[in-house]
A and B are shown apart, each in its own frame.
Chain A
Amino acid sequence: MSNTIIRFENVTKVFDDHIVLDNVSFEIERGKFYTLLGPSGCGKTTILRLIAGFVEPTQGNIYIDENCVNKIPANLRPVNTVFQDYALFPHLNVFENVAFGLRIKKVSAHEVKERVANALKFVNLEGFENREITEMSGGQRQRVAIARAIVNQPQLVLLDEPLSALDLKLRTEMQYELRELQQRLGITFVFVTHDQEEALAMSDEIFVLNKGTIQQSGTPTDIYDEPINRFVADFIGESNIVEGTMLADNLVSFANRTFDCVDMGFNQNEPVEVIIRPEDLEMTSAETGKIPVKVDSQLFRGVHYEICCYDDFKNEWLVHSTKKVEVGSTIGLDFDPEAIHIMRLGETEAEFDKRLEAYED
């Protein structure tokens, strides 16, 4: 058996003349945790609906286990979905909602009882069996929806923002538990979120989407450390992005100064975008820092202060620091050559990968 469970081959989806997915191709491997990450309306739910079989692609092919499933109806696909709006059956109680799929498969009454109880236990809803759906809170409903999908033990579970209605504590707890469950059962998860921290924490692989195309795919560290463009860099965590010029290999100029860096493979004097993550910036005195900046504002974020500064060229610099500074004072920013990440303008994912490979050897 091949390791690829889902394959999209040049899939395009058009709704009323509006291109929602534009020639998307990707593969999903068995037993891994995938996250689709992107802003609202970028087509995340549409990808899930295509996999589940609720809509057909306008163009292109979708394969499950290397069989083209374009014409296979949703009820015959080995996939279960946790819906963005939960889609729990209002006329059934919690137990019957979770048992729905098992009853269709004519599982014995005894086994239904046991499996539903286990699923409810997993989502911390023991004792809620006889509750009506209307008597459940938003977060509880979300967990019933998760239980209803996983109780069927499908090969693939699609989760459409399944934790969005939970409070931070429960959310973090469920993140751990979902991840643990996925690894224990060895099933494949495709998880949708627009919370980048959730994506980074849970995934084996992240697909960053924007406007119906996959901008970048890779492991959380790949995407965080080597974002391909301004969109990905901005979307995955906060970034300082300034314009610069690549003077030579390992030498870049921005903010009217020249810095050592670890990037190569660019043309001489090629205009580029330079990224430095706020947590990689160190605050020192104006004389010793690499870039002198003026502190504009400071926000307490709990774990750290978020300090917003401007340099002499009107570039904004965000700094995350546990230390406090005085608003209005002039300070210096210090950073390592490794903290600098250079992005080529308008580079596609394929070109980007090729360049990385070329200078890794």
Chain B
Amino acid sequence: MKTKNFGRFALIPYAIWIVLFVIAPLLLIAYNSFLDIEGNFTLLNYAKLFSPVYMKMMFNSFLYASIVTAVSLLVGYPVAYLLSRTKHKRLWLVLMILPSWINLLLKTYAFLGILGTEGPVNAFLEAIGIGGQQLLFNDFSFIFVSTYIFIPFMILPIFNAIEKINPSLIYASRDLGASNITTFQRVIFPLTKDGIQSGFQLVFIPTLSLFMITRLIAGNRVITLGTAIEQHFLVTQDWGMGSAIAVVLIIAMAIVMYATRKIMK
């Protein structure tokens, strides 16, 4: 009885937190999205979203998020797999996760240095005779840096899923005549689907709304919905438009979450 009451009591701070910092802002955004720049009620913000400019942004956002997620998965899965076979796997894992504890902005600035015209990569390219290249402010650098930043969130859940597989299942599959490749297809991959699903969501959803990296690394060449929201709130001060984009983005994320869960079933 007592613990039950205490349990309820202990939930109160959490509930307050959720209401104040999650639900209230969401409602505010939704409310704002129906206001024009003067503060009058309007549906125009949503109408504008269907203009070619915003449709292209939306398309870009999904395109880049998909590429970053796909690259993270293609690189992250084998890494997670190899990681689970190495000796000091926990140590390697921490080394790989470590960068994600560093502030995003710091990492981004670090890449500005590394990939810049005066940076070590260009110095190396000069040295081996290829010559200096413009590495920043293009699609490649954007995808490269975004993948670098988000890949730990792909590796970790997949690694955990692989670790959870009972090793006898692999033996059983081999015993029943399956080669290594067949064992991967029929046993390991299906049993790591949950991990892939988590990794997918943890990478795809944040990349959908990226803005800082787009500006700093891609030099505003890649304009995504995230960039647009930032522009509206901080530059044009059109909060209504920014909120409308945010609402659409939130709905899109919800759909993605729901869809991945359905597909992975």
Residue positions of A touching B, CB distance < 8 A = 49, 52-54, 73-75, 79-81, 83, 85, 87-91, 100-101, 104-105, 148, 152
Contact = CB atoms under 8 A, between A and B. Distances in A.
Interface of B is mostly: helix
A74 B190 CA distance: 22
8 contacts: A53-B174, A85-B168, A87-B168, A89-B172, A89-B187, A91-B190, A100-B176, A152-B177
B180 to A, nearest CB: 8
Nearest to A76: B177
Contacts of A89: 169, 172-173, 187
Given A81-B171, A87-B171, A101-B177, 16 more contacts: A49-B171, A53-B174, A54-B171, A74-B175, A75-B176, A75-B179, A79-B175, A80-B176, A89-B172, A90-B191, A91-B190, A91-B191, A100-B186, A104-B177, A104-B178, A152-B176
A105 B179 CA distance: 11
Interface of B: 166, 168-169, 171-179, 182, 186-187, 190-191
B87 to A, nearest CB: 13
A87 B174 contact: no
A79 B222 CA distance: 58
Nearest to B186: A100
Nearest to B172: A87
B175 A81 contact: yes
A269 to B, nearest CB: 54
Given A85-B166, A91-B190, A91-B191, A105 B177 contact: yes
Contacts of B172: 81, 83, 87-89, 148
A78 to B, nearest CB: 10
A243 to B, nearest CB: 45
B178 A75 contact: yes
Contacts of B178: 75, 100, 104
A53 B170 CA distance: 12
A33 B132 CA distance: 74
A266 B177 CA distance: 53
List the 9 shortest-distance A-B pairs measured between CB atoms, nearest first.
Answer: A87-B168, A101-B176, A87-B172, A74-B174, A104-B177, A91-B190, A81-B175, A75-B174, A54-B171
B247 to A, nearest CB: 38
B174 A54 contact: yes
A52 B169 contact: no
A104 B169 contact: no
Nearest to A96: B186
A52 B168 CA distance: 12
Q: Specify which of B173, B177, B178, B187 lies most central, judged by the most chain A CB atoms within 10 Å of its CB.
A: B177
A321 to B, nearest CB: 45
Given A90-B191, A91-B190, A91-B191, A52 B171 contact: yes
B171 A83 contact: yes
Contacts of B182: 104
Contacts of B168: 83, 85, 87
A109 B236 CA distance: 65
Nearest to B183: A75
Q: Specify which of A75, A83, A148, A152 lies most central, judged by the most chain B CB atoms within 10 Å of its CB.
A: A75
A74 B171 contact: yes
A75 B172 CA distance: 10
B60 to A, nearest CB: 37
A74 B191 CA distance: 21
Nearest to A104: B177
Contact of B166 (A54, A87, A105): A87
B175 A75 contact: yes
Contacts of A54: 171, 174-175
B167 to A, nearest CB: 9
A181 B142 CA distance: 65
A87 B178 CA distance: 15
B187 to A, nearest CB: 6
A100 B190 contact: no
B169 A73 contact: no
A152 B175 CA distance: 11
A148 B176 contact: yes
Contacts of A85: 166, 168
Nearest to B191: A91
B191 to A, nearest CB: 6
Nearest to A151: B176
Nearest to A145: B172
A350 B178 CA distance: 41
Nearest to A52: B175
A75 B173 CA distance: 8
Contacts of B177: 75, 101, 104-105, 152
A73 B174 contact: yes
A315 B77 CA distance: 66
Nearest to B179: A75
Contacts of A83: 168, 171-172
B174 A80 contact: no
B176 A87 contact: no
Q: Specify which of A54, A105, A148 lies most central, judged by the most chain B CB atoms within 10 Å of its CB.
A: A54
Contacts of A101: 176-177
Contacts of B186: 100
Nearest to B176: A101
Contacts of A152: 176-177
A105 B182 CA distance: 11
